[in-house]
Amino acid sequence: MLVPSGEKQTLRYEQAHQRALIWYKKYPELLQIEQRIAELLRNMETDNSQEINSRLAEVRQQHEQLLDRNNIPQTYKSPKFDCEKCQDSGWIAIRDSAASQNYGYDVQRVVKCKCLINAEQQQMLNKLFKVSRLSPAMKRQTFELFRLDYYSDIELVEEGYSHRQIMEFNKKLAERFVAKMEQASREEAVCEVKGLYLQGDPGVGKTFLCSAIANELLKRKIPVLYLPFVDFLYQLRGSFGDRSKKVEEFVDAARNVTVLILDDLGSESRTEFSQEILFSILNYRTNNLDKPTIISSNYTIDELKNMYHPRIASRIRIQADILHCVGEDLREIMK
């Protein structure tokens, strides 16, 4: 995947040109009208008479009628940028207030666009962590493919809702989380978005929902780090003898990534080291609510109190909404 750059911007213009050629081939008169418009605009540089302006308006009207008649989109030859702000170049010009005040006129300076900062962060995460990449199967786990029909629609008297209704609600909360993160990224402002804690028995769809969240965030160019917690600990221990990769480097990346997904919390061997690492990450992210954390576990938040130091469960409660995942083991159903 191309990061925002001059190369990516050039590619977008080339793709737009190729799309336009397809329309020209299908409707040759489209290119002819465009050429007449261009010729009239050149003539206006030396002759801005009423006659030229009338002819230009007439040809432009013919152009619009041709588009409408043949359902040709108005953007038929416009580049489709992932980021309209920098047009996929990765750089934007902003006003330098201090310099403008000093020199008495507007001074612009070129800075990295948020999309380039996000892309570089995601590249760093992918390179640093062996365990963070979604498997091919997980890349196919999306909200659209989340099968609610796998869950029973028989209402449970003690809960008042069926498994299907509960999981449909959980899916909506997960989708709402993605929407809030997209809004925060678009507004480029500190936005306090609460994380999610998905608790429930094995095989009820917790990891599927985590994968769906990760896939949607990646699609929107929002940096996300997906970590099965037990594998993360193995990688940390494996880095002890590698001077090029310090434990602090891995932990800092987990602390600072825009969205962190810790999958299958509780499956690891609980040691002082693992609890220290977990608390360090959660405590930092709890104090920075613009960095939400998604956690899945086979254990309820109340059970975590007896498994970990109480302050870990406390941090999770503060920074995450709790989603109780229910149902039969989907892995058995899909065999």
* pLDDT, position 125: 78
Percent with pLDDT over 90 in the chain: 48
d(CA 93, CA 108): 6
Contact, 235 vs 225, CB < 8 A?
no
Give 182-216 pLDDT, tens digit per residue: 888 877 666 678 999 999 999 999 999 999 999 99
Percent with pLDDT over 70 in the chain: 92
* pLDDT, position 132: 58
Q: How far is CA 104 from CA 92, 93, 110, 113, in A?
A: 22, 18, 19, 26
Q: What are phi and psi of 309, to 5 degrees?
A: -60, 135
3-class DSSP state of 257: coil
Residues 6+ apart with CB under 8 A from 13: 79
Give 106-132 pLDDT, tens digit per residue: 888 899 888 888 888 888 777 766 655
d(CA 143, CA 215): 9
Contact, 261 vs 214, CB < 8 A?
yes
d(CA 320, CA 326): 18
Within 89-212, strands assigned E span: 91-95, 108-112, 195-199
Instruction: Please give the residue that has the higher pLDDT: either 170 or 2.
Output: 170
Q: How many CA atoms lie within 13 A of 63 on its CB side?
A: 18
Question: Is residue 77 over pLDDT 90?
Answer: yes
Question: Is residue 244 over pLDDT 60?
Answer: no
Give the length of the chain. Answer: 335
Judged by average pLDDT, the poorest of 150-164, 252-266, 277-291 is 150-164
Region at 73 (left for phi over 0; alpha for psi -120 to 50; beta for the rest): beta
Question: Is residue 288 over pLDDT 90?
Answer: no
* pLDDT, position 165: 92
pTM for the model stands at 0.72
Would you place residue 321 in the very low, low, confident or very high pLDDT band (cuts 50, 70, 90)?
A: very high
Contact, 56 vs 43, CB < 8 A?
no
Would you place residue 280 in the very low, low, confident or very high pLDDT band (cuts 50, 70, 90)?
A: very high
d(CA 199, CA 296): 6
3-class DSSP state of 230: helix
Question: Is residue 102 over pLDDT 70?
Answer: yes
What's the whole-number mean pLDDT along residues 227-254? 78
